[in-house]
Amino acid sequence: MSALWFAALPLAGLVLGWTIRWLYARFQLAAAEQKAERIKQDAVKEAEAQKKEILVEAKDQLIRERNQQEREVRERRAELQRYERRVQQKEETLDKKVETLDKQEQSLQARAKAASEKEEALAGQEERYRQELERISGLSAEEAKKLIIQGLENEAKRDAQLIVNKIEQEAQLSAEKKARDILVTTIQRIATEVTTEVTVTSVSLPSDEMKGRIIGREGRNIRTLETLTGVDVIIDDTPEAVVISCFDPVRREIARVSLERLIADGRIHPARIEEVVQKVTREVTQKIYEEGEKVVFDLGVHNMAPELIKALGRLHYRTSYGQNVLAHSKEVAVIAGMLAAEIGANREIAKRGALLHDIGKGIETDGDQNHAELGMELVRKLGEDPRIVNAIGAHHNDVEPTSAESVIVQIADAISAARPGARRETLDNYIKRLENLENIAESFSGVEKAFAIQAGRELRIMVNNEQVSDDGAKDLCKSIAKKIESDLRYPGRIKVTIIRETRIVEYAR
């Protein structure tokens, strides 16, 4: 019995423990439910309070916005009323102006009607007077008008010719002496050596065997030289000589010096050719700069940009009509400086513009601009004086001269190009220029014969004395001179002389 009791004790303990735990869990669940109920009630109360607060704020905001909108509406209404008043005032003003314009238009119409009536009356009266004058004179209105116009035209021509003759005489008396003094003073102080070059250069050879060495195996040597220098090496039957042809004088000079050194050295192969050409190129480039510096130093021109000095040096290898361009530029600068000093212009500007007037010929470019435009663009980029820029562009009348210095550069350029020995022309061009002069003169009515003499510096014209009067000869001379100026390009000036004579021949038998 006691053993059974001891066996039931653990079971009873388990049941009692489980019961206690269940009761404790029920107690905690009830406490949690009560706490949750309290939290829910607090949350509901807080939500109600926030709801009331939000509604109050929303009502306040709505009231404020409504007040703001009413205030804006009142302001806009007042502004619209002001605009309406202004528009009404403008309409009233416009109505008054329209009324005034209507009155003025009516008045003008009345005046125009009265003027038209007067014009008709005057026209009728003028017609009666014209018919009466035609009856008295025996001429129609057109015939009388032509007679009057012809008489006035002849009289005006005669008076104009007299005035022109008087002005020319007075100008010649005062201008010729002054111009002669200035030009003689300028030119007599100049003596410039002129270098004549062409587009080909001949290089002498010690023997004809050297031609084969210059050509090289399969033409390697001559191809290398032509490729590196950009020239054409012409090897023909000319004994002991080869010809270098190139329109770029600098490349032609580099090729000539390189070939002469290779011949003197005796070692002619592609590597040696490349070495010599590079060395000669550096030397010629240095010489170009030195030539530019020398001219600038000789003329006393300061603050010259290195680009301009280099371009000036390249002119040492350029020629124009056989005249060395650098020597020509230097000569023009000297003449321009003297002319500027004689007439009181800016001597430094004239000299600098004259020195740089052909600077475009020393610029390496592939463009289609002429040398005056290239020179203007270069000196403008380098910040030269606008008068110098204009002098460069105006020396061939590409732009209008805007200063006395520009005109001086034009004159100095013409003097340097036109003086005897400065330039040379081919025989064909020379003959063609003389023929053009004679053809221009013979194209005018009344000209019997024209002769170009003094190497084209003078045009002597024989006219028919029955077709050309003394006054008409002067007009004809000026017309021919203007025609030559407009149609031909020539250095210096051409004297036009007209000869009119009356010959009476009788034979005694």
Residue 196 pLDDT grade (very low, low, confident, very high; cuts 50, 70, 90):
very low
Q: Which residues contact 234 (CB under 8 A, 6 or more apart)?
A: 200, 242, 243, 244, 245
Collapse the DSSP code of 44 into the 3-class scheme (helix H, G, I; strand E, B; otherwise coil) and give the result: helix
Helices 220-229 and 249-265 pack at an angle, to 10 degrees, of: 140
pLDDT tops 50 at residue 298: yes
Q: What is the mean predicted confidence (pLDDT) over 304-332?
A: 82
86-130 per-position pLDDT tens digit: 998 998 889 889 988 988 888 898 888 888 888 888 888 878 877
- Computed on alpha carbons and rounded to an integer, the radius of gyration of the chain in Å comes to 53
394-420 per-position pLDDT tens digit: 888 778 888 888 888 888 888 877 665
Q: State residue 279's pLDDT score.
A: 92
131-141 per-position pLDDT tens digit: 777 777 666 66
Q: State residue 192's pLDDT score.
A: 45
439-466 per-position pLDDT tens digit: 899 899 889 888 887 667 788 898 988 8
Judged by phi (left if over 0) then psi (alpha if -120 to 50, else beta), residue 353 lies in alpha
Q: State residue 487's pLDDT score.
A: 85
Q: Does this model's pTM top 0.75? A: no
| Percent of the residues in the chain that have a pLDDT greater than 70, as a whole number | 87
pLDDT tops 80 at residue 174: no
Amino acid at 493: R
Q: What is the mean predicted confidence (pLDDT) over 326-332?
A: 86
Q: What is the mean predicted confidence (pLDDT) over 176-186?
A: 65
With contact defined as beta carbons under 8 Å apart, do 463 and 441 qualify? no
Q: What is the mean predicted confidence (pLDDT) over 179-192?
A: 59
With contact defined as beta carbons under 8 Å apart, do 370 and 360 qualify? yes
With contact defined as beta carbons under 8 Å apart, do 308 and 389 qualify? no
Residue 194 pLDDT grade (very low, low, confident, very high; cuts 50, 70, 90):
very low
Q: What is the mean predicted confidence (pLDDT) over 270-291?
A: 89
Residue 278 pLDDT grade (very low, low, confident, very high; cuts 50, 70, 90):
very high
